[in-house]
Structure 1
Amino acid sequence: MNADSLKMFYSVVEEGSISKAARINFVSQPAVTRQNYQFEENYGALVSKKGLSHFIRNE
């Protein structure tokens, strides 16, 4: 886990969308998806759920 992965996860949560997070961070959508997946794997839990059109925080 590094600061970039945490920043990217935070962007996804704040923007509510992987696509928006990718756009504002100037990276590809697959790169954001990969980092989000690795973040979830490192913590052994699902930290977000894909909604109908956006990501929502998992309580």
Structure 2
Amino acid sequence: MIRFMIKVLFLLAAGMSLYKYRYRLMNMMLGVPALRRFAVGSAMSFPGVRSKVMDDIFE
């Protein structure tokens, strides 16, 4: 039971840290060209995102 509680507390703390520093982490990850290319490619695979971006580009 104690091990389970420790795991839950650790996951909770990790989740809170990720949420608190989410923009800093995102900027750090998008600073790497390969990760940025993957993120943009993944986002463009969603039809709603793709049409919104294309409409904004060719407005």
TM-score (norm. length: structure 1): 0.29
Structure scoring higher RCO (CA < 8 A, sep ≥ 6) equals: 1
Give the TM-score of the pair, scaled to structure 2.
Answer: 0.29
Higher helix share: 2
